[in-house]
Amino acid sequence: MYIVHSIFNVPAEKSEEVIAIYQNRSKLVDQAPGFQQFRLLHNKKKPGELTVEITWEDKQSYIDWVSGDDFKRIHDLEKNYPDQELASIRPTVKMFEVVAQ
């Protein structure tokens, strides 16, 4: 199992707006081979910190996803988001291989 975290900070007053965007996400990733689960995590101690957590069957499934057209399409849409402050935010990405359960 492979887990990817995309951690990003938005202005605290815009965190609910971003949460709503993710609650209405396209779900294209859900159809990707090897996809297992999507979660959006909200750090309650740091109101502007959000983490997208996606669980994959294995590392290769993740690599295939980020190399594909649907990934590019989703991220191109983000670049064109009307709120340029939010559109310009770049996450810190952390990748984990599950080694024990």
Q: Name the residue range of residue 57's domain.
A: 2-97
What are the pLDDT digits (tens) for 53-84? Answer: 999 999 999 999 999 998 988 877 666 666 77
- Number of structural domains (the chain) is 1
CATH code for position 14: 3.30.70.100
Question: In the sheet that 35-42 helps form, which strands lie side by side, from edge to edge?
Answer: 35-42, 49-56, 2-9, 92-97
Instruction: Dig out the tokens for 69 from the structure.
Output: 């057209």
Alpha helices in 11-100 (DSSP H): 15-23, 59-66, 69-79, 84-87
Distance CA 59, CA 1 (A): 8
| pTM exceeds 0.85 for this model | yes
